[in-house]
Structure 1
Amino acid sequence: MSKTFTKTILTFLLLCMTSVFAQAQNVIISGTITDKTTKEPIPGVGITVKGTTSGTATDINGKYNFSTSQKAPFIIVISYVGYAPIEKQITGNVSKLDAALEQVGILGQEVVISASRTPERILESPVSIERMGATAIKEVAAPSFYDALTNLKGVEMSTQSLTFKSINTRGFNSNGNTRFNQYVDGMDNQAPGLNFSVGNIVGINDLDVDNVELLPGASSALYGAGGISGTMLITSKNPYDYQGASFQFKSGINHVDDATSKVQPFNQLDVRVAKAFNNKFAFKGSFSFLQAEDWHANNYSDFDRAARKFKEGTRETDPNYDGINVYGDEVSQNMRNVAQAAVNAGTSGFIQQALGLPAPPTAAQIAGFKANPAGLTALNTFLGTDPRFRPFVAGLANKALLPDQAVSRTGYEELNLVDYKTQSLKGSGALHYRFTPTIEAIAQANWGTGTSVYTGSDRYSLRNFSIGQFKLELKGQDFFLKGYTTQERSGDSYISSILGSYINETSKKSTDWFPQYVGNYVGAKATGLTDAQAHAAARAAADVGRYQPGSPQFEAAKEKIMNTTIASTDFKNGTYGAKFNDKTNLYHYEGMYNFSNALKNVVELQVGASYRMYQLRSGGTIFDDLDKGIDINEYGAFAQIGKKLLDDKLKLTFSGRYDKSSNFDGRFTPRITGVFTVAPNNNIRVSYQTGYRNPTTQNQYIDLSVGGGSQRLIGGLPASLNKYELLLNKPFTDVSYRAFLASASAGTPNPALLQAYDFDPKGVRPESVQSYELGYKGLLGPKFMIDAYAYYSIYKDFITAVDVYQGNKDGSFTKFGVPVNAKGEVKTYGGAIGLDYLIGKYNLSGNVSYNKLDRLPEDYINDFNTPEFRYNLGFGNQQIIKNVGFNVNWRWQGKFYWNSSFASGDVPAFSTLDAQVNLKIPSVNSMIKIGGSNVLNKYYFTSYGNPSVGALYYVSYVFNP
């Protein structure tokens, strides 16, 4: 942890110490809350001062103790989901204020914080919000709470591997979702070198999750840059309220009826321990370890990367085959170009030898030699009779022998390159100290490491990577100050396509492989073989000496390349590396004060500010930082004011935030909301929200070879454009380049078809969104709740990417992928409706979501990546018979087209069924659960190029859940 970080936190703490000693005389209240029927204590019961945000919750033993500066007399509200609330009048200090709650079907009483950054009933939230509480988490049918998030209204998930999943709402889904924010205990959970969260690999295990709140849509007015599609806040359990030791062991199987693997074991252990002393000092720690065989990506469809579309073909039928999950076959050359290069090399070598030149001849010397009839005759004789060049001369002279056809190298399947032995180890610890009943200091550390697979512009094998988050925080009833750092370490991670390509280069250089292929093809054609037979013979000849998967030569080359960094690659010396060396860090400082209690009955007012710094340190393996460090600074401040009107039936809130990045102009993002109570527990909400996101750290500074070395991804800042002279030596659009290739294939290459692409000299800019929403949430009686909304969003400066081809002096082209802003506006609209109905002790829930792309600029590659319709249906009972409960969730989504920098294609419609049945054993405070996700074992994939997901069946035992 840096000295700057530590000094800043200490400064924050000292500035607030006066708050500790300036407390007024407080009223102290304590007691125990139990279930009226079972007499058992109830943990997590909310006790709040009516009309304020002051309060606490019961601990694992149902006990509570809190202090408030509220002047007596006042009323406290004791409430818990599924129980009737109780109100009690307080006239002074009181101990043993016990209460017994009675179970009753009441919905919509949950308290949420994220929608307004202050506690409020979920029914009164000014914007759409989804919530999953501790009780629901305990009963989920999915393997983990994170897997179950996809059952929430409007939420979708992209699964890249067993442990790497990305959450999204309202369209523009992606494998690594940079448009969605995820916070864990107030810490941005993104990997700073990627700018998106790595699922729940570094987060909280199920035993320590208190609740999850999810805001669909723009949220920059409260949370700053990012979150243009949504924000999710995951909160862990407080050690004062949830004490004791608990553990969970889960064991199961996956890969059932999988053509790529036999049945494989799945095991996971979760542990949590917490203890408080005198309600002053408390600590907690948690640990989780998962081990399993990951899902295998085995999409071997032929893909045209230039046109970004599927093409018919296999390795046997298409000489230029490029399989989605096959790597090394991205390297491709045109056969006639190979032949011409060979002839040129022969010409140069012959002339140098004939004239006795000390170096290869210049273009003028070659032209002069050819102008001499005797010299030209000698040259043609040499080329036509020398066995090294004769096939190439013959092929160029006769298209029947050598067509204008591209061929690719033989690749390796992902199974042979990627580490599928998934492991995830994560731990967290926290120390809490209460200076007063309302002011608390926290030191917290979350750390995780593991092996997984992530899909970006390539498939990346994340081996032994780690991310740590370390936080210091001082918080009170009305304020908080915190600072944290995120430390990202890539470990032994590498790019699978680069690995496949470089294993090929180690076994035989492409400069040898392609001439061998062409020479043998011409020879085979000359003997009368068909095109298919000639291609088969040519590939067999060129592949002689190719390292076979599993062979000692293959494993030795693989091991060496995996452990050599990308920046160390040197083609001349035969050094090849596919490994990252990322040590990127993020430092974040933030403070907020809520003046609402001080301005009681006047207005609700909050203000806050933040500072963030990214330190990009990849050693030239991801960013353009081989011999330098790159820092990015971001500043922001926000304010929110709210007021209730019309006898508290209408609440209006205005929020505004200003943010500035060191590389971009400042941005102001306002939000206006209104909530109108049309009847008790029935509210209509209207909102205008704005959001924006800066180009990611990779959008700004990436400098990386991908696609087996066939493409270079670079940042969109002016410095990157100038580094590769894309503003001076203008590249050509991918559409015009493909048209040029088509003309060349037809035998009449037409350079006039090439159209230059003009980059904005100022580079890529932040994108923004304006979103309008109308919603309704209400109780139609105590057993039926409905939540519905419709939205319309307008995006500007949408960050997309272009593929361009820059001409080189030797007549070849270099392909670049560059982030740019789409011209014009991107418009989307949609809505969702959710229903919850209590039938006795049964809970029936369902929701449907609709998302539609309305308008798209011509220069924008559509990556809306979202089905129009999604359905979810849930049915459960916590106690169908004594101590036995169950839960079932079914979901369906429609077919849609997935577009990304890795692969594009149709994602078929699919449905899944998750189910679990549990047995509670109160005598030992334990629960046994038997369940499964996708229990019907219908394999599906969520995004094109990612693995298909089958069933995962499990049994778990949890103590002290």
Structure 2
Amino acid sequence: MKKIFTKVIFMLLMLLTTGVVAHAQSIVVSGTVTDKLTKEPIPGVSVTVKGKTIGSSTDLKGQFSFSTTEKAPFTLMVSYIGFTTVEREVSGNTANLTFELESGTILGQEVVVSASRTPERILESPVSIERISSAALKELPAPSFYDALNNLKGVEMSTQSMTFRSVNTRGFNANGNVRFNQYIDGMDNQAPGLNFSVGNIVGLTELDVDNVELLPGAASALYGAGGINGTLLMTSKNPYQYQGASFQYKTGINHVSDDKTSQGVQEFKELNVRLAKSWNNKFGFKTSFGFLQAKDWAATDTRNFDRTARQLKSGDRNSDPNYDGINVYGDEISQNMVNVAQSVNAANIAGINTATAGAIPNIQTQLNGIFNLLSVPANGLPTAAQQATALGFLPAALRPTVQAYLPFYIGLRSMQPGQPVQLLSNQFVSRTGYNETDLVDYDTKSLKTSTSLHYKFNNTVEAIAQANWGTGTSVYTGTDRYSLRNFKIGQYKLELKGQDFFLRGYTTQERSGEAYNATILGTFINEAWKPSTTWFPQYIGNYIGARGAGQSDAAAQAFARSQADIGRLIPGSAGYETAKSTIASKTIGPANGAKFNDKTNLYHYEGMYNFSNAFNNVVELIVGASYRDYFLHSDGTIFDDANRDIVINEYGAYAQLGKKFGDKFKMTVAGRYDKSKNFEGRLTPRITGVWTVAPNNNIRASFQTGYRNPTTQDQYIDLAVGGGSTRLIGGLPESINKYNLNTNKGVTSASYKAFLASAAAGAPNPALLQQYTFDAGGLRPESVKSFEVGYKGLATRSLLIDAYAYYNIYEDFIGGVELYQNPTTAAVKFSVPVNIATKVKSYGAAFGLDYQVGKFNFNGNTSYNKLSDIPAGFDNNFNTPEWRFNAGVGSKEIVKNFGFNVQYRWQDEFYWNSTFATGTVPAYSTFDAQVNLKIPSVKSVVKLGGSNVLNKYYSTSFGNPEVGALYYLSFTFNP
């Protein structure tokens, strides 16, 4: 496999060498751009060759210069936000050109790259695409550009914490979204041990963002595995076009009127700094730094949740002995009272046998006789004297020990038919848990840095060395809630790129730091204080005693808990904090801790060449290839790697051919082949067409395919969650065989639930149990076929319309199955990723408007997403509201130097299904707003704003925290 990849890269290098030689014959394009009205030079204006990425931007004197191999005549595009774009054909002299720009903007003129991996106007994109420019970023009514993605058409977010948000489009959202790719300067921003991006914890600072492009839907033909729901590409500013020192300081408050916690109003603060410089347009350097600190949103949902039925149930800790709060941890540990009594009974009979060397026959029969032969009082329990007399068959030394356990024997006998009083309840009981607020570190921090060195060999070939590093403390929701404490990711890249090619290699280094599982932590704090093997017998013994004393079931349950919990560690106490610190610092596994030890690394190499110039742009031809290794390393705390090394390698190659037919129609055909270590190779084709029905009005149609390999965790996870009540294992045959699930088969969750119901009714029926058989072919990659039609055009110079409709067909959809092994004795619960045999279909549409009138900019969009033909037995995790709506109005400068922006967002109620919890997410609406004052004399902007300014707390996904208002004031100096 590596030999194949070496050959592919060698061929690319040959092609690139040819391309670099060709670049030597280039011409220099230079000139000046000024404001037509004031005659002043305009810095930062983009000057590019139309249809190409080659170009430059003006300096502080309004001057630009760059080289190109384009043969005259060719067209230059000169564009700047707030001014009308100018196009001019260059046929002779290319030096000392002059351009004058007029105020005013024509919508839809932005140039995008990601839709086809080649520059094109956004109006001419063959697939749906959203874009935020660097100029637009300054006007966003959001605390950060990443938060503002939620206002784009068709985009939704799952907010697990202040700095951890998962972006999604077109359904099947998730807390950690493995169906959505995120790239920063060409680097996949996923945490390789998780296979999804950790929000923007390790990403770009606001001062360093040049543009953001978002592709809804599948894009595997050009970008490889993953991204079957969407792809986000973020590009940073280069040191040639954006030079100088800039900084931003932001301060604010949140937790205003937060009645779910006792925190009160909390401070929010953020500092961003950027420094960039180039010398002779040859050597360039930039560095950026960002630090955020705040008190995070708290998950405080204490509603009662049935984890077997996966639904809410009535009751609370006072009324339900088996209470399990959604954001309460440690109470997942649950036992049936009868089963515990039987275990105690069996253990003590075994103890008597051992102590008497088997000299006493029929021990169980003689113990049963205690209940039958004694003169039982009305309350159901014999007196202590009667009990002592009845134990006369035992040696005197054993009588006190056995007498302590008589309530268990008596309670079990009292459940038999014909007995006067039933003292023992066939009821599940859970341990007393701890609230998430007492377990998780909510002191959110995010520190991120990016430094890059740039060198231009000539005006078209550039070398880049880049290092992005970040660390943070946040909270993430998976199967449990995880405190990502001092979590770290580094990305390091070397790249050589030119007008028509790039070669890059990078590595992503993930370090879990002090991250821990909050559910396991709550469980082990309980166990450190009093093991469950002690706590449950104490509870049940006290319950039987209380029932024997005449108390009701509810009163006896409350008494039993109060007695079993005597001395329990209380949050804030020295004992609690010591136990918490100790367990959180020990690794998951034999050390009986809650801490992860993830040091997973990813290494990625890829290259691309655009042959279009070689064909004089008669056709567009792009080829590329990539290779990737995952080195999993968790010391057994996440993966099944306690005693071995796990490496996953993937490789692929792609090509795209495009052709224009006159001025009206363009068609592209693309395809990519990919192979992963554990799965068969896969081909993903794409066909697109764009028809220009009128100037600046285009209809697009596409057929795209996408796929994603099962994640690293889908393949190799081996982790106890839910306080140890469930084991997550990978779906590969080796994991299934490790736990003998092919020979000692597990039963389905639904059938186990039915069996428990029959047992609770006093007539356990094993015939209800249904065994699960795994697919002989094992776990397979998931794929989608996506059909889309759309329209984007200018109805008038000031009105831009964008609309699309799509239809998706998913095959081998990866879901999960919950199985119970040994269900009639000591049931062990497993959660295993499997493919759904039936095709899953979804469809949707979106419509958006951008309208400019005078100094005002209006926008609005709505999107609709629907799951169709839900297969029987499909675990529906579409997790997307049917309807979403956004509307906004703003002005870059409503009066001199003063602008504003207001954005309204609403989404419908929907059902959320995840491995953590399932339930209805209520509909919500929210307003974001900002006003800004530009101070040209000091090249600065002051912004006052807020997200959710009406402070109506809402949740984006079930089991996650409710989000309130964040009010902020920022000062930005940016020359």
Task: Tell me the TM-score range normalised by the shorter chain.
Answer: over 0.9
Conserved? CA contact 2:368–2:409, under 8 Å: no
Give 1:603's match in structure 2, choosing from 601, 614, 619. 619
User: Counterpart in 2 of 1:70?
Assistant: 70
Evaluate the alpha carbon distance shift between residue 59 and residue 165 of structure 1 in structure 2; reply closer, same or farther with a 3 A threshold.
farther
Amino acid at match of 1:905: G
Amino acid at match of 1:288: G
Evaluate the alpha carbon distance shift between residue 539 and residue 174 of structure 1 in structure 2; reply closer, same or farther with a 3 A threshold.
same
Q: CA deviation at 1:763?
A: 2.1
User: Counterpart in 2 of 1:494?
Assistant: 516
Deviations 1:136-191 (A, max 9, x none): 11111100000000000000000000000000000000000000000000000000
SS in 2 for 1:480: strand
Conserved? CA contact 1:674–1:686, under 8 Å: yes
Give 1:582's match in structure 2, choosing from 595, 598, 605. 598
User: Counterpart in 1 of 2:499?
Assistant: 477
Q: CA deviation at 1:46?
A: 2.7
Q: Choose 577-586 or 372-381, whichever is displaced more.
A: 372-381
Conserved? CA contact 1:81–1:107, under 8 Å: no
The whole-number CA distance in structure 1 between the counterparts of 2:367 and 2:249 is: 86
- The answer to whether the aligner puts 1:443 opposite 2:465 as a matched pair is yes
Conserved? CA contact 1:167–1:180, under 8 Å: yes
The whole-number CA distance in structure 1 between the counterparts of 2:937 and 2:244 is: 16
Conserved? CA contact 1:28–1:93, under 8 Å: no
Q: Please show how residues 621-640 of structure 1 align to structure 2 within 5 Å.
A: 621-640=637-656
Cα-Cα RMSD: 2.2
Amino acid at match of 1:341: S
Q: CA deviation at 1:781?
A: 1.4
The whole-number CA distance in structure 2 between the counterparts of 1:896 and 1:655 is: 36
Give 1:314's match in structure 2, choosing from 307, 313, 316. 316
User: Counterpart in 2 of 1:88?
Assistant: 88
Conserved? CA contact 2:254–2:966, under 8 Å: yes
**Paired residues, what number?**
940
SS in 1 for 2:885: strand
Give 2:859's match in structure 1, choosing from 822, 841, 845. 845
Amino acid at match of 1:562: A
Give 1:804's match in structure 2, choosing from 804, 819, 834. 819
SS in 1 for 2:172: coil
- The answer to whether the aligner puts 1:328 opposite 2:330 as a matched pair is yes
Q: CA deviation at 1:471?
A: 0.4
- The answer to whether the aligner puts 1:641 opposite 2:637 as a matched pair is no
Evaluate the alpha carbon distance shift between residue 521 and residue 31 of structure 1 in structure 2; reply closer, same or farther with a 3 A threshold.
same
TM-score (norm: length of structure 2): 0.94
Give 1:410's match in structure 2, choosing from 418, 432, 435. 432
Deviations 1:646-698 (A, max 9, x none): x2201111010000000000000001011000000000001001100000000
Deviations 1:352-410 (A, max 9, x none): 222269xxxxxxxx9x7569989999989669983322111111122421111000000
Deviations 1:103-144 (A, max 9, x none): 123100000000000000000000000001111111111000
- The answer to whether the aligner puts 1:546 opposite 2:568 as a matched pair is yes
Amino acid at match of 2:516: Y
The whole-number CA distance in structure 1 between the counterparts of 2:61 and 2:429 is: 70
Q: Please show how residues 27-46 of structure 1 align to structure 2 within 5 Å.
A: 27-39=27-39, 41-46=41-46
Evaluate the alpha carbon distance shift between residue 62 and residue 490 of structure 1 in structure 2; reply closer, same or farther with a 3 A threshold.
farther
- The answer to whether the aligner puts 1:188 opposite 2:188 as a matched pair is yes
Give 2:302's match in structure 1, choosing from 300, 303, 309. 300
Conserved? CA contact 1:773–1:792, under 8 Å: yes
Give 2:925's match in structure 1, choosing from 911, 918, 929. 911
Q: CA deviation at 1:50?
A: 3.8
- The answer to whether the aligner puts 1:767 opposite 2:789 as a matched pair is no
Q: Please show how residues 872-891 of structure 1 align to structure 2 within 5 Å.
A: 872-891=886-905
The whole-number CA distance in structure 2 between the counterparts of 1:563 and 1:375 is: 48
Deviations 1:271-312 (A, max 9, x none): 001001000000100000000000010000100011110011
Conserved? CA contact 1:59–1:240, under 8 Å: no
Conserved? CA contact 1:689–1:772, under 8 Å: yes
Conserved? CA contact 1:773–1:791, under 8 Å: yes
Q: Please show how residues 650-799 of structure 1 align to structure 2 within 5 Å.
A: 650-799=665-814
Amino acid at match of 1:710: S
User: Counterpart in 2 of 1:939?
Assistant: 953
The whole-number CA distance in structure 1 between the counterparts of 2:367 and 2:463 is: 92
Conserved? CA contact 2:12–2:609, under 8 Å: no
Conserved? CA contact 1:350–1:379, under 8 Å: no
The whole-number CA distance in structure 2 between the counterparts of 1:62 and 1:536 is: 78
The whole-number CA distance in structure 1 between the counterparts of 2:481 and 2:449 is: 27
User: Counterpart in 2 of 1:271?
Assistant: 273
Amino acid at match of 1:278: N
User: Counterpart in 1 of 2:456?
Assistant: 434
Q: Please show how residues 109-188 of structure 1 align to structure 2 within 5 Å.
A: 109-188=109-188
The whole-number CA distance in structure 2 between the counterparts of 1:62 and 1:562 is: 57
Deviations 1:484-530 (A, max 9, x none): 00000000000000000000001100000000000000111111111
The whole-number CA distance in structure 2 between the counterparts of 1:269 and 1:35 is: 33
User: Counterpart in 1 of 2:223?
Assistant: 223
The whole-number CA distance in structure 2 between the counterparts of 1:41 and 1:891 is: 39
SS in 2 for 1:598: helix
- The answer to whether the aligner puts 1:455 opposite 2:477 as a matched pair is yes
The whole-number CA distance in structure 1 between the counterparts of 2:901 and 2:924 is: 21
The whole-number CA distance in structure 2 between the counterparts of 1:375 and 1:411 is: 36
SS in 2 for 1:780: strand
Give 2:915's match in structure 1, choosing from 888, 895, 901. 901
Q: CA deviation at 1:65?
A: 1.1
Deviations 1:899-948 (A, max 9, x none): 10001111000001000000000001000000000000000000000000
Amino acid at match of 1:23: H
The whole-number CA distance in structure 2 between the counterparts of 1:889 and 1:674 is: 34
Amino acid at match of 1:690: T
Unpaired runs of 5+ residues, structure 2, are: 371-389, 416-421
Q: CA deviation at 1:630?
A: 0.4
Q: Choose 762-771 or 329-338, whichever is displaced more.
A: 762-771
Amino acid at match of 2:456: R
Amino acid at match of 1:659: D
Amino acid at match of 2:861: N
User: Counterpart in 2 of 1:363?
Assistant: none
Unpaired runs of 5+ residues, structure 1, are: 358-365, 570-575
Amino acid at match of 1:926: S
Amino acid at match of 1:773: E
Conserved? CA contact 1:20–1:436, under 8 Å: no
The whole-number CA distance in structure 1 between the counterparts of 2:180 and 2:799 is: 31
Amino acid at match of 1:756: Q
User: Counterpart in 2 of 1:516?
Assistant: 538
Q: CA deviation at 1:75?
A: 3.3
Amino acid at match of 2:345: V
The whole-number CA distance in structure 2 between the counterparts of 1:284 and 1:374 is: 82
Evaluate the alpha carbon distance shift between residue 61 and residue 845 of structure 1 in structure 2; reply closer, same or farther with a 3 A threshold.
farther
Amino acid at match of 2:79: S
The whole-number CA distance in structure 2 between the counterparts of 1:244 and 1:265 is: 30
Conserved? CA contact 2:160–2:477, under 8 Å: yes
User: Counterpart in 1 of 2:23?
Assistant: 23
Identity over the aligned pairs, expressed in percent? Answer: 66
The whole-number CA distance in structure 2 between the counterparts of 1:633 and 1:748 is: 52
Evaluate the alpha carbon distance shift between residue 819 and residue 74 of structure 1 in structure 2; reply closer, same or farther with a 3 A threshold.
closer
SS in 1 for 2:182: strand
Q: Choose 372-381 or 760-769, whichever is displaced more.
A: 372-381
Q: CA deviation at 1:950?
A: 0.2
Conserved? CA contact 1:108–1:779, under 8 Å: yes
SS in 1 for 2:240: coil
The whole-number CA distance in structure 1 between the counterparts of 2:230 and 2:241 is: 29
TM-score (norm: length of structure 1): 0.95
Evaluate the alpha carbon distance shift between residue 43 and residue 334 of structure 1 in structure 2; reply closer, same or farther with a 3 A threshold.
farther
Conserved? CA contact 2:158–2:166, under 8 Å: yes
